[in-house]
Amino acid sequence: MPSLRRTLLPHITCICFILFPFFAMASETGKAEAALPLNDLRTFTEIFSRIKQAYVEPVEDRTLLENAIHGMLDGLDPHSLYLEKEAFSDLQINTQGQFGGLGIEVEMDGGFVRVITPIDDTPALRAGILPRDLIIKIDDKPIKGLKLQDAVNLMRGEPGTQITLTIVRDGQSKPLVITLVRDVIKVASVKSRTLEKGYGYIRITQFQVSTGTDLLKAIRELQHDNSPLNGIVLDLRNNPGGVLSAAVEVSDAFLTGGLIVYTKGRMENSEIRYNAVADDPSKGVPLVVLINGGSASASEIVAGALQDHQRAVILGTTSFGKGSVQTILPLNNERALKLTTARYFTPNGRSIQAEGITPHLVINNAKVTALTESSIGYKEADLKGHLENDNGNKETASAGNQKSLPETDFQLNEALNLLKGINIISRYTRQQIPATQ
């Protein structure tokens, strides 16, 4: 498993994080830990001194100390990081939904840069970058041997400038060379539309501070445009996560009560329980949630809560499996520590760490080719002198050259068909229930 994880310009908040006062944590840690290991500290200072004296080139004290800090965190887990001034600023800006770069979530994997997921409406997605792609070269510079931050810096640049990535992709015999144009990325957290009359679609690209409010607005618009609203598809595919509170708000929008998620850690104030309120803005409408291997962290909190409460059918493929919570601990000099402080659990007590959420219906995405109906034979409309239809339809809608939903998004089409089936069965069941005398 990689030791660092970053996102391009700035770092996408792909993990659930919360803010805790640094001094509170330091106090608790001081009570729990024994005295500092003096012999190990002597070893550290001796190594520090030897490097200063004997390394082939002069090295500043600050550089050595910051390298030591990075080394401490590298030995923990992939999500604990020391955020220098620029990275900390990027993290804060990103939660508001605007940043510059390529629009990909990345991590280190075996000395190379692994793509977790491309973000909607970004240069990476438009260029065809896929989850699990392994970046081995940036322009003419090999990745092997670089730190993740160094690789990220190479991929940064002014909007409008070109960059060439050489990637290795599963199933491809040769590396792919892909040229992208850097851009200012503005991520709309929530997007919605009507799939067919009565059936709505809501896409959450990542969990930002405003996601909960944006979701409620999308639900109201779908309810206004569809009377009645018979079902919603909530698309969390390739959603890398984000702000924990936003995941709670999204889950709460579809629940009428009960536990949404809880966290457990060594610190007393890291054990928190989040519960839904009685109000249900969705009005109990049938719900299908789409997930895949790019759905991580906050996405898994939502999918797990809705699955445990039997509020939604989860469809797609197993999610990423990130079940830890990171605390942002501000330090001096505008720096911060992003430290894994807890694990989160679904309402039924499931930890999805390194396992993910398994859908009710495992359906891989696929390319579907529409078959042209045979032209052999006739229909009533082909017969000379046939009677006209008297339903008042003067014109017949034509799809023209537009591709159908099964051709463009097989999983979404299956979700829509499932909602239609639920609606049909529900209506049939209601008709069979005798009236109370």
What local confidence, expressed as pLDDT, does residue 54 receive? 96
Give me the mean pLDDT over the 271-297 stretch: 95
Residue 316 or 433, more confident? 316
Most confident option among 119-123, 147-151, 285-289: 285-289
Mean pLDDT of 245-250: 96
Q: What is the pLDDT of residue 265?
A: 93
User: Cα separation of 119 and 100, whole Å?
Assistant: 12
Kindly report the length of the chain. 437
% of the chain surpassing 70 pLDDT: 84
Distance between start and end Cα atoms, the chain: 64
Q: What is the mean pLDDT of the chain?
A: 85
Catalytic machinery residues: 297, 308, 322
**Which superfamily, per CATH, for 114-186?**
PDZ domain (2.30.42.10)
Q: Of 185-199, 208-222, 304-318, give the lowest mean pLDDT range.
A: 185-199
Q: What is the pLDDT of residue 383?
A: 78
Pairing of strands 176-181, 336-345: unpaired
Task: Check pLDDT > 50 for residue 4.
Answer: no
Pairwise CA distance, residues 292 & 136, whole Å? 24
Spelled out in words, what is the top-level CATH class assigned to the domain 190-323+342-362? alpha beta
Instruction: Supply the DSSP string of 383-428, one letter for each residue.
Output: STTPPPP-SS--S----TTPPPHHHH-HHHHHHHHHHHHHHHHHHH
The per-residue pLDDT for range 204-220, each reduced to its tens digit, is 998 998 999 999 999 99
pLDDT at 435 over 60: no
Compute the chain's Rg from CA coordinates. 26
Query: Cβ contacts of residue 239 below 8 Å, gap of 6+?
Result: 117, 204, 205, 206, 207, 294, 295, 296, 298, 299
pLDDT (tens digit, 9 = 90+) per residue, 69-91? 989 998 899 889 898 887 787 67
pLDDT of the residue at 424: 93
Domain ranges of the chain: 114-186, 190-323+342-362
